[in-house]
Structure 1
């Protein structure tokens, strides 16, 4: 164990861990002599290291930035524009052919001659009323259906 107080006057015993400091300083040159203030000889080297690190960060950032405002607008000539349009249309055609085609669903055809159906007489009102009554009865019957639970649906099987 280390001690929290030590003085220069005391002489530690050989091999004794009692007076060894718990945390040793990594730079013995910068230890305070005789309890005076710390002498920091590496202040200028630390600032130089920080400056070098900052400079490298700024250089990397400047290399990775693209200044869009400084870029000149490149005008394409007519034949270049037509070539690009042709390339894009061929790529689009290839991609659209590779996709699975969805068949366009046609409207259901109830008859092959719709003009005759449209020209025929109207459905009698009594038939419309009868269909409405049947639909109302069906709705009423469906709404009154109730399930009465009688036993559990999950049954344990015995394993022989």
Structure 2
């Protein structure tokens, strides 16, 4: 269990040795203790949905916005049903700890949370919409492991 906690903290680029639980880390991500593990509840930098449909750029149109403490999302329009859209959530510089792809499996299912790894280089999420329209892609940092969720909007 401790190895998973330290791996999560390291993957998100945080230092647990200089911060008291619940206190900001000099403008960095805030930590809190939940049932014995540290969890990231907010980010210290802009994060973007970056994918084949954005030419992998950090475009302001695809910047995630905080909707609740620890929950960030962006609205996107997918116009090609049956096409697999590949994407990640990352900061503008692809910084280690802020480069989120899949942890175990990249196939995204509508409405089902999928574990994310925010210290990955190649693990792109893949989502194939069954119809064109607006979708909401969210990064949930409230639990022990970051999760990605895609829903119709």
Per the normalisation by structure 1, the TM-score is: 0.14
The structure with the greater share of residues assigned to strand is: 2
Larger Rg: 1
Per the normalisation by structure 2, the TM-score is: 0.15
Q: Which has the higher contact order (CA 8 A, sep 6+)?
A: 2
The structure with the greater share of residues assigned to helix is: 1
